[in-house]
Amino acid sequence: MVTREATIKSSTGLHARPATLLVKKASSFKSELYLEFNGKKANIKSLIGVLSLGVTKGAKVIITASGDDETLAAEEIVKVIESIEE
């Protein structure tokens, strides 16, 4: 299992469009991927799950990856999260 932290830079947090990008990227990996925010945890491959966390701008989130490609998956998810600046 690999754990990484990322900061949300998007002024609107993880709303529909950024969350969709995140889910699409996560779905390209075999590993199980989870996003934690404010004590809640959601599968990053689930759009409804990601949106249900209500992640806001400036929030620190924790990404957990577990599986064959966990290290690459965690790093790529962090890159996606920190590149979204709408």
Residue 47 one-letter amino acid: L
Q: For the chain, how many residues are written?
A: 86
Given the residues 4, 15, 69, 78, select the one marked as catalytic: 15
Distances from the Cα of 58 to the Cα of 7, 21, 33, 73, 84, angstroms: 6, 18, 21, 22, 12
> Is residue 36 a contact partner of residue 64, using CB atoms and an 8 Å limit?
yes
Is 13 an active-site residue?
A: no
Report the alpha-carbon angle 53-82-18, nearest 5: 50
List active site positions.
Answer: 15
